[in-house]
């Protein structure tokens, strides 16, 4: 059996790769594995289950709830809420397990199952591996041990989660948003009710787009993967800024008053300075990835803030933050983690904190984001090569060294094997975009000849 769990749960085309049977079986397996690990010891286990508005989430939620209840777990259904809300409620309600049904920024036909451990934290890798093994063991014939009578799980709807999560968001804001106008693009996703309500309660004047989910339109031409609608709306309405979420609202990208994109690196730069000023930037450090823009690194150096860079993926950012006690980290994609207030990336929280900084300083978002200059970044994918030889090819090493000498201190080269495909990603940054394109093209040619 191939790996079911990827870097962000189990994901695939709903009712093709991710079936009701798989969702049910994984839920039962998760209950058994957590029971074996002692998570349920001494009490009746509970789980929080939420979803984004995809049509397939309706039957997958039913399957997950059935699986958990059949394994003796009491279930609180919180309905359509963002991934970070489900993580928060898992912790706030003292649940043993959280389950979110979403495929995040993926197109509507996809869906996914993501598990949270007690406290709302991502399940440890070893538990995911064990869930896979137990699922496969029982899928091929070994019957489950099933409770009967009063031992089966009970299922209730927990409608208070909506207000509880919003109260949490408002409660951690450093200041209100009175006097600023914000356009919100909800990607027809999980934050379509939550985010507008939170911004309005915080005092902002809001204009909302992409907030009419019908089960089929999630991420369709809107949200953080399609900023064009938001950029036009911010200019049209004369707003101070725009905020875009993805389907499950664990990401946030922004748009300034002129309609220009403000990406995750720029948001991190703005929040890092705000948190340092408030004495909240522990160890004077922010965590990014190796794909963080060089302009972000140079800006943090200039401001006297340390930057720790991890492998690509918010899970690696989070691991570094938890291991070293850092307070802020994230990715260019808008996955921003404020660890004192969230156990995962929280797009609504990030947007609120960014807007709060605009309101508190009286400065424009463009001015605040101007703390860093985003250097042109060219990414070329080179397919059908032996990616395992990236670090051992002498010809490639020489070419990279030559490119680095040419670019100097204001440029950067990164060669990264794809985790899932037989290709190598060539990334080049430089102050001049034409130079970046030329260097990236030359390196891509060397990758083809050296590793082809």
More confident residue, 276 or 122: 276
Distance of alpha carbon 270 from alpha carbon 373, whole angstroms: 12
Domains, in order of start, for the chain: 10-161 (3.40.120.10), 176-369 (3.40.120.10), 377-451 (3.30.310.50)
343-346-351-357 Cα dihedral, nearest 10 degrees: 10
Please report the pLDDT score of residue 330 as a whole number: 97
Instruction: State the CB neighbour count (10 A cutoff) for residue 235.
Output: 15
> What are the CA-CA distances from residue 279 to residues 217, 275, 298 (Å)?
42, 6, 22
Strands across the sheet containing 46-51: 10-13, 110-117, 97-101, 46-51, 74-80, 155-157
Of the candidates 202, 254, 246, 234, which has an alpha carbon nearest to the alpha carbon of residue 369?
254
Please report which residue ranges of 336-384 form alpha helices under DSSP H: 347-361, 365-369
Return the active site residues: 104
Residue showing tokens 């962000």: 8
Measured CA angle at 244 (ends 239, 249), to 5 deg: 140
When pLDDT is averaged across residues 346-363 and rounded to a whole number, the result is: 98
Beta pairing, strands 261-262 & 253-256 = antiparallel
SS3 156: strand
Distance of alpha carbon 114 from alpha carbon 10, whole angstroms: 6
Residue range 139-180, pLDDT digits in tens = 887 788 899 999 999 999 999 999 999 999 999 999 999 999
Q: Is 250 known to sit in a ligand binding site?
A: yes
Mean pLDDT of the chain: 95
448, containing H or E segment:
helix 433-451
165 in Cβ contact with 88 (< 8 Å):
yes
Q: How confident is the model at residue 254 (pLDDT cuts 50, 70, 90)?
A: very high
- Token duo for residue 174: 């450093």
Please report the pLDDT score of residue 420 as a whole number: 64
Q: Is 27 known to sit in a ligand binding site?
A: no
Please report the pLDDT score of residue 2 as a whole number: 55
Please report the pLDDT score of residue 276 as a whole number: 98
85 in Cβ contact with 50 (< 8 Å):
yes
349 in Cβ contact with 342 (< 8 Å):
yes
Please report the pLDDT score of residue 1 as a whole number: 44
Q: Is 248 known to sit in a ligand binding site?
A: yes
Residue range 52-66, pLDDT digits in tens = 999 999 999 999 999
Radius of gyration of the chain (CA): 23
Share of the chain above pLDDT 70, in %: 99
pTM equals: 0.92
Beta pairing, strands 241-244 & 181-185 = parallel
When pLDDT is averaged across residues 239-267 and rounded to a whole number, the result is: 98
SS3 122: strand
71 in Cβ contact with 138 (< 8 Å):
no
Residue range 194-252, pLDDT digits in tens = 999 999 999 999 999 999 999 999 999 999 999 999 999 999 999 999 999 999 999 99
Distance of alpha carbon 5 from alpha carbon 290, whole angstroms: 23
pLDDT at 8 > cutoff 80: no
Distance of alpha carbon 286 from alpha carbon 372, whole angstroms: 14
Residue range 398-451, pLDDT digits in tens = 999 999 999 988 899 999 887 667 789 999 999 899 999 999 999 999 999 898
Query: CB burial class (10 A; 0-12, 13-18, 19+) of residue 131?
Result: buried
């Amino acid at each position: 059996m191939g790996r079911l769990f990827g870097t962000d749960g189990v994901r695939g085309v709903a009712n093709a790769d991710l079936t009701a049977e798989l969702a049910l079986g994984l839920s039962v397996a998760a209950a058994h594995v957590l029971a074996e690990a002692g998570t349920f010891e001494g009490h009746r286990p509970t789980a929080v289950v939420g979803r984004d508005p995809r049509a397939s989430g309706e039957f997958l939620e039913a399957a997950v709830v059935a699986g958990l209840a059949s394994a003796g777990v009491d279930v609180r259904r919180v309905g359509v809420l963002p991934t970070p809300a489900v993580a928060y409620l898992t912790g706030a309600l003292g649940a043993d397990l959280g389950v979110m049904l979403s495929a995040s920024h993926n197109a509507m036909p996809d869906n996914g199952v993501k598990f949270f451990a007690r406290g709302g934290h991502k399940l440890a890798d070893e538990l995911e591996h064990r869930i896979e093994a137990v699922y496969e063991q029982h899928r091929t014939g070994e019957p489950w041990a099933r409770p009967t009578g009063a031992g089966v799980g009970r299922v209730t709807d927990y409608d208070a989660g909506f207000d509880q999560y919003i109260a949490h968001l408002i409660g951690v804001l450093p200041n209100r948003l009175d006097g600023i106008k914000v356009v919100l693009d909800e990607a027809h996703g999980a934050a379509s009710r939550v985010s507008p309500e939170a911004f309005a309660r915080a005092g902002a004047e809001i204009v909302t787009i992409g907030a009419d989910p019908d089960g089929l339109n999630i991420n369709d031409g809107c949200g953080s993967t399609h900023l064009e609608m938001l950029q036009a709306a911010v200019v049209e309405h004369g707003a101070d800024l725009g905020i875009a979420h993805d389907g499950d609202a664990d990401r946030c990208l922004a748009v300034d008053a002129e309609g220009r994109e403000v990406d995750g690196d720029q948001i991190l730069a703005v929040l890092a300075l705000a948190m340092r000023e408030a004495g909240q930037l522990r160890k004077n450090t922010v965590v990014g990835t190796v794909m963080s823009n060089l302009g972000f690194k140079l800006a943090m150096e200039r401001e006297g803030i340390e930057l720790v860079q991890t492998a690509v993926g918010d899970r690696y950012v989070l691991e570094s933050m938890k291991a070293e006690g850092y307070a802020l980290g994230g990715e260019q994609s808008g996955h921003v983690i404020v660890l004192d207030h969230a156990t995962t990336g929280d797009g609504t929280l990030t947007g609120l904190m960014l807007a709060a900084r605009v309101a508190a300083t009286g400065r424009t978002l463009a001015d605040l984001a101007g703390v860093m200059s985003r250097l042109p970044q060219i990414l070329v994918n080179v397919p059908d090569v032996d990616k395992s030889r990236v670090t051992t090819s002498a010809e490639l090493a020489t070419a990279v060294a030559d490119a680095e000498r040419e670019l100097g201190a204001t440029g950067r080269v990164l060669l990264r094997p794809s985790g899932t495909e037989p290709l190598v990603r060539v990334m080049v940054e430089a102050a001049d975009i034409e130079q970046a394109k030329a260097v990236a093209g030359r390196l891509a040619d060397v990758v083809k000849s050296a590793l082809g």
